[in-house]
Structure 1
Amino acid sequence: MAAALLALLFDRWLHSLPLSLGATLLLIAPLALFVARLRTAPMLALFRAMAGTVQAYRDGDFSSGLHWRRHDELAELVAAHNALGDRLREQRQALVQRELLLDTMVQNTPVAMVLCDGARRVVYSNLAARKLLNDGRRLEGRAFDALLAAGPQPLRDAIAQGGDGLFAVPREDDEEDTWHLSRRLFRLNGRPHELFLLRHLTAELRRQEVRTWKKVIRVISHELNNSLAPIASLAHSGAELVRRGRHERLEEAFGTIEDRARHLEGFIRGYAHFAKLPAPRVEAVDWTRFVARLRSQIAFDVAGPLPAAPAHFDPAQLEQALINLLRNAHESGSPAEAVILRIRRLPAQVTIEVADRGGGMSEAVLANALLPFYSTKRGGTGLGLALVREIAEAHGGRLALANRHGGGLAVTLALPAPETAR
């Protein structure tokens, strides 16, 4: 309106429309620019402040916020921006608390942890690792191989072998400390890293050893008493029969003594065999011949075709393991024709399954079935499944038990594929 009025005044004075418009622009334009700048200055300041807070968020600083006095659309934007900052601040605080908790747990765990980068330099270690490898001093930045060179030889040998395993470190009192080594490879920030975990197992193994010896002594004492008590009683009865001249019953007494002695002999032999299981002698084995040899000793049906490619294992040990499993299947109350053997070749392993339609196992029995000396059979030694698991693990495999739908039990023995075994 001011520009229109000025244009009319100039037009009456100058009597020329172009000159009037030019004069009006010369007067109005600076004023309009000044007013526009005055009105937009708070918004520009707000935008600069918002850019600064966004940069602070990018740098991890969530302590700043914005303030806008007016109640317009920009007030809604400022409120949303501040709400975002509050949310990021809460998440950052929660993350910091979790990091502190995790660091406290890692630093105070008895397991020694050492994280190395691709150049085998230590990038992280906890208190247990520092105490073990560097007398409590920091390990970060040190070469891991140099630390190992100053450590015990068994530790260097265990790491040089690769993979997980146990090793023993001699002590000054002629005792040994047992350690478990675990190592994992992964990528962190796109770069390869390796994590070494060293766990001290001496005290735990000793407690377990004591418990095992107590259980062994208890089981052996029970079995010896079950055999020696009848033998002593029958020997006394035989002496009485001789004294009375009743020789016709001596044969029965001596036969019972012989049976109990042979049972005791078999019991001791089973324990000795379990304790002296040799290392497997792996060789190429044809499945057809192997299964035929098994069938000559115990009855079963084969489900599905046998793998055409040969397997690599110790045939004597695996034959013993499968005979134990097949005998258990027959003794479970399953019909003989329902005892099956299924062999499947998978990309990474070979699975051998022995299945039956017997009574299966309860949850409690399944949880303890693979433990040595645990048996639900009358007169059982509890070494059958334990021996099978020992054979499977000696081949680098594993043993699993599961109840079948419709009744019965399935025992699966998984062995590494031939390429892995070699």
Structure 2
Amino acid sequence: MRVLRVLPIAVRMIAIAVVGIAATAAATWLLSRWLPVWACALIAAWVIGSIVAIIIWRTLVPMRALFRALAGTVASYRDGDFSFGITWDKASDLIELVDAHNALGDALREQRLALVQRELLLDTMVQNTPVAMVLVDATRRVVLGNLAARRMLGEGKRLEGRAFEDVLTAADPAVRDAFERGGDGMFTVGEDDDEDIYHLSRRSFRLNGRIHELVLLRQLTAELRRQEVQTWKKVIRVISHELNNSLAPIASLAHSGAELLRRGQHERLPAALATIEDRARHLEGFIRDYARFAKLPAPRSEPVPWRPFIAQLRAQVAFTDELQPEDGIARFDTAQLEQALINLLKNAHESGSPPDEVKLSVRRMPDGWRIEVLDRGSGMNEAVLANALLPFYSTKRHGTGLGLALAREIAEAHGGRIALLNRQGGGLCVAMVLP
């Protein structure tokens, strides 16, 4: 029997049937001496049928129980419950199926546990981030609002299930105005010393086949104030440096001039006075540039033909040009764009580029005009490219760091943009796009 238990089910059934038939045949032969043949045959058929029925019952009933258990655990897996397993202590080919099923359950259970842990971590991060986050479904109802969003938009109460428009109605007027303007942007909540600056970001995406919108409200007050302080410190350092560079030689030369007068050495006075005048004019220009940058007025755009405008620029600085089309007309503030391009063209000449390689290219684009100032100078490294458009950033010994910043300010005031990139073969391209 120990040998039979390890045999497959089919072999066990055949072995038991053979043994039973042999025993029945032997018993029938013994009984045939006292009973008629038909009686012996009837008894043999009854015994064989009983053996076969017992074999089938002993085999199929546990298998049916196993199949019911398998179906039940599969249904549990479908419902997300992976805590079930199957015990099968009968030696057969089905033990491999049971082991594989239990291994699948263990793997699903581990994956579900890891998923739950990730979901808990993500929910903890979302709920405790200082950025107010609101998820709105296709019916404009709030699906998720974290703790920062509850404090800002719901007076600390839950937002889930509420209509988003109702939430905005009860919010600060500055928040409503920011949403009414549409898109991303910055707005201020509060007044005077109690004001906070926020950045609104809105993104739509498809979730489970339906459009959802994710709203982010990030407070920038502390960060902007830190940046403001750093900017003022840098402004003060630059102004102090420039003032010292001009006032120190002026004071020294004024003292020297007084000594020359006292000694009667008048022939050296013109040189001293010329140097004083040069430093004073430099200081005047420096302060004028700062004032122009700080008080840049809103542009007054008007139709301007490109060809006369380029000719006016060439009267002040040398360059070659490329204009497509030749009779193009654009809308911009003539004085502001002239100032921006003069700064860019002078920078191109100061880059070490040959004068005949400084070029102004103006091309009509489908959505506006692309203006490029090109040179064959030394170009810029990655660090300089990343900071060159920032106010007060300069790599020149006596630079103010306002030329490129002023050009950027003028381009953005016209609704355009500006970018810097190194050219193949050396040199720099300053590209300005105007609508």
TM-score where L is the length of structure 1: 0.82
Once the two structures are superposed, residues 367-422 of structure 1 have per-residue CA deviations (whole angstroms, 9 ceiling, x without a partner) of 3322221111121001122223333444555444343444333334455xx5xxxx
Q: Which residue is equivalent to 2:131?
A: 111
Question: Larger Cα Rg: Structure 1 or Structure 2?
Answer: 2
Matches within 5 A, 1:17-166: 32=52, 35-166=55-186
Matches within 5 A, 1:298-337: 298-301=317-320, 316-337=335-356
Matches within 5 A, 1:204-215: 204-215=223-234
Residue identity in the other structure for 1:109: T
Paired with 2:66 and 2:332, the residues of 1 have a C-alpha distance of 76
Pick the aligned partner of 2:199 from 180, 183, 198: 180
Once the two structures are superposed, residues 158-200 of structure 1 have per-residue CA deviations (whole angstroms, 9 ceiling, x without a partner) of 11101111111224x7542212111112222122222221122
Q: CA RMSD in A?
A: 3.7
Conservation of the 8 A alpha-carbon contact between 1:285 and 1:310: yes
2:378 aligned counterpart, secondary structure: coil
Q: Which residue is equivalent to 1:168?
A: 188
Conservation of the 8 A alpha-carbon contact between 2:372 and 2:432: yes
Paired with 1:345 and 1:394, the residues of 2 have a C-alpha distance of 20
Q: Which residue is equivalent to 1:389?
A: 408
Instruction: Work out the percentage of aligned pairs sharing the same amino acid.
Output: 67
Cα distance change on mapping 1:195 and 1:394 into 2, 3 Å: farther
- Deviation of the 1:40 alpha carbon: 2.3
1:376 is the counterpart of 2:406: no
Conservation of the 8 A alpha-carbon contact between 1:307 and 1:343: no
Q: Which residue is equivalent to 2:5?
A: none
- Deviation of the 1:124 alpha carbon: 0.6
1:338 is the counterpart of 2:357: yes
Cα distance change on mapping 1:76 and 1:253 into 2, 3 Å: same
- Deviation of the 1:345 alpha carbon: 6.7
Residue identity in the other structure for 2:227: Q
Paired with 2:152 and 2:423, the residues of 1 have a C-alpha distance of 49
In the alignment of these two chains, the number of paired residues is 408
1:242 is the counterpart of 2:261: yes
Paired with 2:301 and 2:246, the residues of 1 have a C-alpha distance of 39
Q: Which residue is equivalent to 1:17?
A: none
1:411 is the counterpart of 2:430: yes
Q: Which residue is equivalent to 2:13?
A: none
Paired with 1:325 and 1:128, the residues of 2 have a C-alpha distance of 45
Cα distance change on mapping 1:82 and 1:181 into 2, 3 Å: same
- Deviation of the 1:156 alpha carbon: 1.0
Paired with 1:181 and 1:160, the residues of 2 have a C-alpha distance of 12
Structure 1, 178-187 or 239-248: larger mean CA deviation: 239-248
Residue identity in the other structure for 1:204: E
Paired with 1:80 and 1:344, the residues of 2 have a C-alpha distance of 69
Once the two structures are superposed, residues 229-265 of structure 1 have per-residue CA deviations (whole angstroms, 9 ceiling, x without a partner) of 2222222233333333433333323322222121111
Once the two structures are superposed, residues 316-344 of structure 1 have per-residue CA deviations (whole angstroms, 9 ceiling, x without a partner) of 54444343333322211122343445566
Residue identity in the other structure for 1:335: P
Once the two structures are superposed, residues 268-311 of structure 1 have per-residue CA deviations (whole angstroms, 9 ceiling, x without a partner) of 11111211223445567666666666555544456796699876
Pick the aligned partner of 2:288 from 251, 255, 269: 269
Paired with 1:134 and 1:187, the residues of 2 have a C-alpha distance of 26
1:123 aligned counterpart, secondary structure: strand
Conservation of the 8 A alpha-carbon contact between 1:307 and 1:344: no
Cα distance change on mapping 1:93 and 1:317 into 2, 3 Å: farther
Conservation of the 8 A alpha-carbon contact between 1:288 and 1:306: no
Paired with 1:309 and 1:190, the residues of 2 have a C-alpha distance of 48
Paired with 2:178 and 2:372, the residues of 1 have a C-alpha distance of 34
Cα distance change on mapping 1:109 and 1:24 into 2, 3 Å: same
Residue identity in the other structure for 1:122: V
Once the two structures are superposed, residues 349-375 of structure 1 have per-residue CA deviations (whole angstroms, 9 ceiling, x without a partner) of 865444433222233323332222111
Conservation of the 8 A alpha-carbon contact between 1:282 and 1:314: yes
Q: Which runs of 5+ in 1 are unaligned?
A: 15-19
- Deviation of the 1:52 alpha carbon: 1.9
- Deviation of the 1:220 alpha carbon: 0.6
Paired with 1:64 and 1:307, the residues of 2 have a C-alpha distance of 80
Paired with 2:326 and 2:429, the residues of 1 have a C-alpha distance of 20
Cα distance change on mapping 1:346 and 1:80 into 2, 3 Å: farther
Residue identity in the other structure for 1:69: D
Paired with 1:346 and 1:405, the residues of 2 have a C-alpha distance of 23
Paired with 1:286 and 1:31, the residues of 2 have a C-alpha distance of 110
Cα distance change on mapping 1:298 and 1:26 into 2, 3 Å: farther
Pick the aligned partner of 2:378 from 343, 359, 369: 359
Paired with 2:306 and 2:54, the residues of 1 have a C-alpha distance of 96
Q: Which residue is equivalent to 1:232?
A: 251
Structure 1, 41-50 or 98-107: larger mean CA deviation: 41-50
Cα distance change on mapping 1:318 and 1:85 into 2, 3 Å: farther
